[in-house]
Amino acid sequence: MIIPYTCPNCSNHVIDVEMKGLKHKVVTCPSCETETQVPDDLEICPGTIIGSGYKLETKIGESHLGDIYLALKEDEERLVRIEILAGSVASDEESVTRFLQEIELMSTLTHENLLSALEAGQDGETYFLVTAHEPGLSLEDTLARDSVVEEKKVLNYMITISEVLGYTWDERKLLHRDLKPQNIFITENDVAKLTGFGIAKSSEGQSLGLTGVGFTIGTPEYMSPEQIRASEDLDYRSDLYALGVVMYEALCGELPFIDDAPILLMQKHMDELPVPVREKNPDVSEGCSALIDKMLAKEPEDRHQSWQELMDDANDVINSEGKVGKKSGASSKAGGGTASNPFEAKSPLAIGGIIAAVIFLIVIIVLVLKAL
């Protein structure tokens, strides 16, 4: 690894320092001719060359495990995305294990809407993961710029991410466990792609040794009630809830639950009903609002029972231009209550009442006509 070193006297670039080469050595600045000793605590920054010739260009984000950079593969003149394990956690065995897990997982998953892994490795004491890069913005950056996203786009993003999560569940019974706007990338062609499998968990394994019983891991703003409770039998419906939170935020410009204290925030996810999307953003259709309500149901059995069911409901809302259909109506136990459904089948008692009212009205009209 090579890190650029700047002269503390004139602030001009002095020399590129090899991590195990010029540290502690005295060098002369070519600009001001001042002699300076290269410090031991140089930090990775733009201009650093890591691995097999990846030059870090700009920092574009952060993950649970470290910083994310846009980098140039110099011999190929190709831009890539590099996630680097932060120095402060590199000495933590669990963090390193989690990072290596993401490398292993990303190398085995192949889907057109999943940012694919290109290379991974260790340079000195630094671990890094290289993934494909496409021009665009994270959903987090998109929301920072636009505040909200129009309904049809949100539904299409939901369908695309659901396809990826359906693939990872079917292929590996894999849970993402950290769905959030930062981990959803929107390309210049307006296609959603998923990343951030650093704390993923296989339901067929034992959490890959990363978490103990009773330990909750994830991002509190987007965690399902059962993930907060550290349930040992999590399945895809936990990710489905988290995706519902992400879509709620995209439609409303704010989260369904807000609190500065993580513990209180997680308690709200377990106990409180969110305000329906349509009440916060009247431009959202009844069908879409009901769909999000169902995704945010407190109990997994009250949510969609497969990724395909969710995609079908989202397509129904798109094709019906937001009208509430039988499939997209929220469960009565879903967060925020139910949306009215004019197409929902009526009970025999309700139908009988309607018929009686019609007959009564006809009788009244006949009696009035006779009186005339």
From the CB of residue 140, how many other CB atoms can be counted at a distance below 10 Å? 18
173 vs 209: CA distance, rounded Å:
17
Q: Which ranges constitute the DSSP H helices of 330-347? A: none
Q: What residues are annotated to the active site?
A: 178
Give the C-alpha separation, 261 to 89, whole Å: 24
Query: Angle, nearest 10°, between helix axes 236-252 and 151-172?
Result: 160
DSSP annotation string for 86-120: -TTTTT-HHHHHHHHHHHHHHHH---TTB--EEEE
What are the φ/ψ torsions at residue 173 (nearest 5 degrees)? 50, 45
Buried b (16+ CB within 10 A) or exposed e, 301-333: ebbbeebeebbebbebbbeeebebbebbbbbeb
Report yes or no: 255 and 247 within 8 Å, Cβ to Cβ: no
Matching residue, tokens 């989202």: 314
- Rounded to whole angstroms, the Cα distance separating 279 from 4 reads 53
Amino acid at 123: D
Q: Where would I find the beta strands (DSSP E) of the chain?
A: 2-6, 13-18, 26-28, 35-37, 49-50, 54-62, 66-73, 78-85, 117-123, 126-132, 136-138, 174-175, 184-187, 192-194, 201-202
Is 233:244 a contact under the CB 8 Å cutoff? no
Residue among 278, 293, 280, 288 at smallest CA distance from 321: 288
Q: Is the dihedral of CA 129, 134, 136, 142 positive or negative?
A: negative
CB neighbourhood size of 260 (10 A)? 6
Q: How far is CA 326 from CA 5, 62, 205, 278, 344, in A?
A: 64, 41, 37, 18, 6
